[in-house]
Chains A and B, each alone.
Chain A
Amino acid sequence: MALQLFKIADATVATPQTSIDFNSIPQGYTDLLIKISLRSSDGNIYDGANIYLNNDTTSTNYSFRRLYGNGATAASDSSTSSYRWFWVNGNTATTNSMGNAEIYIPKYTGSNYKSASFDFVTENNATTSYGGIVTCLWNSTAAITSISIASGGNYFMTNSTATLYGVL
């Protein structure tokens, strides 16, 4: 069968806000996919962004491994206690520039711990700009019913967007 995506919800930031939240996620799909275009109020070129599943803000329930580049060098990092899975444009990146990211969460209603894959890029009219791929884990067997994309202390700027899809 051809790839089937169904929009569940679409959010556009009208005034700066600390998070984009998807609640009451339908349980009838196989996987979830979110396409993300974000810019943070952080005073750097880039900023980390958090993913909270089912409003779980206990960092030790999350982990990741990440391969990334910064426009000059490549590196990898990991954490056994972090929901700060990806990076977005900060507010000193080129004006009007946004990051571009996608998170894919397979079997989000299953009874295993929830794995996710993330690929993200930031952009900036200069050497330094971050992009990478991430494998992520939420140590919970609960079905995912809500997802929060949070700036973690800053704001997501106007015209940031996130679109949640169900996949069959």
Chain B
Amino acid sequence: MAIRSLKSGSFSRSTQVGNSIILPGDYESIATVTVGSGGTTSVNFSSIPQTFKHLQIRAIHQEPSDTVALRFNNTGASNIYTVHYLYGDGGVVAGYLSSPLMIYFGTNYGSSGSTFGTSVVDILDYTDTNKYTTTRSLTGADNNSAYYRVGIYSGEYYSTSAITSIQILGRSGGTIAQYSSFALYGIRG
């Protein structure tokens, strides 16, 4: 195994022959869901460990009819989220959604066949009960045809509750297509 110096950050190998190098990182997989045949209307991460500092979702997604979104703690009230966005699709657009029922994070309008959108969503201080939870997502999609978009989305969850579950769904309740994949990571702090 490798040994890391906490002071210098440098690594050294153990002298034991045959051992593979193990880097004890602070970025750890919590769970990954890949959508199966027929698709699904939601992907759920429940019982999220409360031992990390931050969360990150890395995803490829196809929901042919609409944006991909998330809810925290199974909450879908109309006054609990807001969304702001900035994207480019040949032009540049900025906007705001006042009561979206969920946080939009993934663009993929028009995705079909083998084309998928991609997103990386950062959820900072998800266990901190002193402040609301703000999300930041970098997302993009290109179907090599009429649709292409890249942007940054923010969302806010107006609750001081710790995040214990995340539900991913299509904005309009559509089907998230087979082979879409959502990986949830914990980041220690």
Contacts and interface: CB of A to CB of B under 8 A. Distances in A.
Given A5-B26, A27-B8, A72-B94, A96 B131 contact: yes
Given A5-B25, A165-B26, A98 B131 contact: yes
Contact of B53 (A36, A94, A163): A163
A144 B130 CA distance: 33
A59 to B, nearest CB: 26
B54 A35 contact: yes
A166 B98 CA distance: 37
B155 A119 contact: no
A98 B157 CA distance: 11
Contacts of A165: 26, 187
Interface stretch (B30-38, B42-50, B69-77, B82-90): B82-90
A35 B124 contact: yes
Given A26-B8, A37-B124, A7 B132 contact: no
Interface string A45-89: 000000000000000000000011111111000000000000000
A163 B189 contact: yes
B131 A7 contact: no
A41 interface: no
Nearest to A10: B189
B85 A123 contact: no
B27 A129 contact: no
Interface stretch (B60-68, B108-116, B133-141, B167-175): B133-141
Given A5-B25, A36-B124, A98-B131, 9 more contacts: A7-B53, A26-B10, A28-B10, A97-B132, A132-B152, A133-B152, A161-B124, A161-B128, A161-B189
Nearest 8 A/B pairs, CB to CB: A69-B94, A26-B9, A121-B154, A69-B86, A28-B9, A28-B10, A74-B92, A5-B27
Interface of B: 4-5, 7-11, 23, 25-27, 53-54, 82, 84-86, 92-96, 98, 122, 124-125, 128, 130-132, 134-136, 138, 152-156, 158, 160, 187-189
